[in-house]
Copies of this chain bind each other. A is one copy, B any other.
Amino acid sequence: MTFLDMLRHAERQNRSLLCVGLDPDPAKFPDRFKGDASRIYDFCAAIVEATADTAIAFKPQIAYFAAHRAEDQLERLMAHMRAVAPQVPVILDAKRGDIGSTAEQYAIEAFERYGADAVTLSPFMGFDSVQPYLKHHGKGAFLLCRTSNPGGDDLQNQRLASVEGQPLLYEHVARLAQGPWNLNGQLGLVVGATYPAEIERVREIAPTLPLLIPGVGAQGGDAVATVRAGLRVENGQTTGPIIVNSSRAILYASGGDDFADAARREALRTRDLLEAAKG
């Protein structure tokens, strides 16, 4: 199954647009193993088991593993997600961006070493920094487009004098991803939930690309506005998919020993909110 097949399957089977983000911070673990980086796998595995039937995707953030020398735990977690939820695609959040020969190495890391179904990438270095990922047929690649952080404005929101129609930089990225860069239909875009009007603008430019939308939950994005701005459905079929990520609000829902149960409740609540917003 390709990434897109898995995504369609998980959306239908789990009736969900919710992506469970895995940003494990040992300082926020429950008291009995707070601060213990050797328990990253245990913590994340419990979250995965508790939320496997609520999610359209999982999204581990590799920085949280790399900071703690926990690549081996990430490898085990990737295998565990495949075992517990073979139908739920895994997006490795790595935001790589480098010249072709280096991008080939990062693609091996994401798709072969970790077995991810999709990866996040920065478009700053242009098409030849993206192309090596597209040689891994069936895998997905989400380009940063309009991000949910305050500094997202600094470059992404600048208007380009040198491109027809004078688009903003993020609009130009959306155009490239919907059009000339999308050789085999593998591309998607990352668009922050804190700016629903911009999700709508990206969706106009890129009607069929999957949009990965972080920023719901701890970052404060509005779930209902996000779904209305981003999701496209025709005749009961999703033609413009969205994947709405929540990380911290789910992972640290209780902070106590009931963290997995609390995570499940928060995941179900968010999933149902997103489903209801389909209207």
Residues of B within 8 A of A150 (CB): 126, 128
Give the size category of A's interface with B.
35 or more
Q: Are A173 and B160 in contact (CB under 8 A)?
A: no
Interface residues of A in 104-162 (CB under 8 A from B): 105-106, 108-109, 112-113, 122-130, 144, 147-162
Q: Are A124 and B156 in contact (CB under 8 A)?
A: yes
Q: Is A83 an interface residue (CB 8 A)?
A: no
Q: Are A124 and B127 in contact (CB under 8 A)?
A: no
CA distance A98 to B112 in the complex (A): 23
Q: Is A66 an interface residue (CB 8 A)?
A: yes
Q: Is A273 an interface residue (CB 8 A)?
A: no
Q: Are A124 and B155 in contact (CB under 8 A)?
A: yes
Residues of B within 8 A of A128 (CB): 149-151
Residues of B within 8 A of A159 (CB): 160-162
Q: Are A161 and B166 in contact (CB under 8 A)?
A: yes
Q: Are A109 and B160 in contact (CB under 8 A)?
A: no
- Given A125-B152, A129-B149: A102 and B162 within 8 A (CB)? no
Q: Is A23 an interface residue (CB 8 A)?
A: yes
Chain A 156-172, CB-CB to B under 8 Å as 1, else 0, gives: 11111111001001001
Interface residues of A in 161-220 (CB under 8 A from B): 161-163, 166, 169, 172-173, 176
Residues of B within 8 A of A130 (CB): 151
Interface residues of A in 68-126 (CB under 8 A from B): 69, 71, 75, 95-103, 105-106, 108-109, 112-113, 122-126
Q: Is A51 an interface residue (CB 8 A)?
A: no
Q: Is A233 an interface residue (CB 8 A)?
A: no
What are 12 pairs between A and B in contact, CB < 8 Å? Answer: A67-B113, A69-B113, A71-B71, A95-B97, A97-B124, A122-B124, A124-B156, A125-B144, A125-B151, A155-B172, A158-B161, A159-B162
A contact residues vs B (CB 8 Å cutoff): 23, 61, 63-64, 66-67, 69, 71, 75, 95-103, 105-106, 108-109, 112-113, 122-130, 144, 147-163, 166, 169, 172-173, 176
